[in-house]
Amino acid sequence: MAYKEQLKKVGEYEYELPKTGKMLVPGKIFASEKLMEKIEETAIQQVANVAQLPGIIKYSLAMPDLHSGYGFCIGGVAAFKLDSGIISPGGVGYDINCSVRLLKTNLKSKDIKNKKEIIHSLFRKVPSGVGRGGKLKLSEKELNEVLKEGAQWAVKNGYGRKEDYLHTEEQGKLQGANPDDVSQRAKARGLPQLGSLGAGNHFVEIQEVEEIYDKNIAKVFGLEEGQITIMIHCGSRGLGHQVASDYIKLMEERYDFSHLPDRELINAPVKSELGKKYFSAMAAAANFAFANKQLITHWVREDLKHYFPNFKADVIYDVCHNIAKIEEHEVDGKKMELCVHRKGATRAFGPGRKELPSVYRETGQPVLIPGSMGTSSYVLVGTKKAEQVSFGSTAHGAGRVMSRHEALKQQRGEKVKEELSRKGIEVESGSWKGLAEEAPSAYKDVDEVVKVSDKVGIGKLVAKLKPLAVEQEK
Q: What is the pLDDT of residues 287-327, one digit of tens each?
A: 999 999 999 999 999 999 999 999 999 999 999 999 999 99
- Counting DSSP H helices and E strands in the chain, the numbers are 16, 19
Provide the phi-psi class of 168: left if phi over 0, else alpha when psi is between -120 and 50, else beta. beta
CATH of domain 3-401+443-471: 3.90.1860.10
Higher pLDDT, 431 or 231: 231
pLDDT score of 383 more than 70: yes
Q: Where are the domains of the chain?
A: 3-401+443-471
Confidence of residue 474 (pLDDT cuts 50, 70, 90): very low
Confidence of residue 131 (pLDDT cuts 50, 70, 90): very low
Sheet of 322-331, strands arranged across: 8-11, 14-17, 27-30, 60-67, 74-81, 334-343, 322-331
Q: At how many degrees (to 10) do helices 273-304 and 115-125 cross?
A: 130
Of 264, 290, 289, 266, which Cα lies nearest the Cα of 278?
A: 266
What is the rounded average pLDDT for all residues in the chain?
91
DSSP helix/strand/coil, 433: helix
Q: What is the pLDDT of residues 4-51, one digit of tens each?
A: 899 999 999 999 999 999 999 999 999 999 999 989 999 999 999 999
Examine the residue annotation and report whether 298 is marked as an active-site residue of this protein.
no
Q: Of all helices (H) and strands (E), which one includes residue 54?
A: none
pLDDT score of 402 more than 60: no
Tell me which of 167, 321, 341, 396 is the catalytic residue: 396
Between the alpha carbon of residue 191 and those of residues 68, 74, 135, 240, 453, the distances in Å are 31, 28, 11, 12, 38
Is-contact 262 315, C-beta < 8 A? no
Confidence of residue 132 (pLDDT cuts 50, 70, 90): very low
Q: What is the pLDDT of residues 328-361, one digit of tens each?
A: 999 999 999 999 999 999 999 999 999 999 999 9
Contacts of 353 (CB under 8 A, 6+ apart): 361, 365, 387, 392
pLDDT score of 136 more than 90: no
Q: Of all helices (H) and strands (E), which one includes residue 440?
A: none
- Identify each DSSP E strand in 351-459 by its residue range: 366-369, 377-381, 393-395, 426-428
Instruction: Check the CA dihedral 423-425-431-435 and report its sign.
Output: negative
Rounded CA-CA distance 438/79 in Å is 31
Q: What is the pLDDT of residues 76-96, one digit of tens each?
A: 999 999 999 999 999 999 999
Q: Which amino acid is at 350?
A: G
Is-contact 442 404, C-beta < 8 A? yes
pLDDT score of 134 more than 60: no
Is-contact 207 467, C-beta < 8 A? yes
Q: What letter does residue 95 receive in the DSSP assignment?
A: S
Q: Of all helices (H) and strands (E), which one includes residue 63?
A: strand 60-67
Query: Pairing mode, if any, of strands 334-343 and 227-234?
Result: unpaired
Does pTM top 0.85 for this prediction? yes
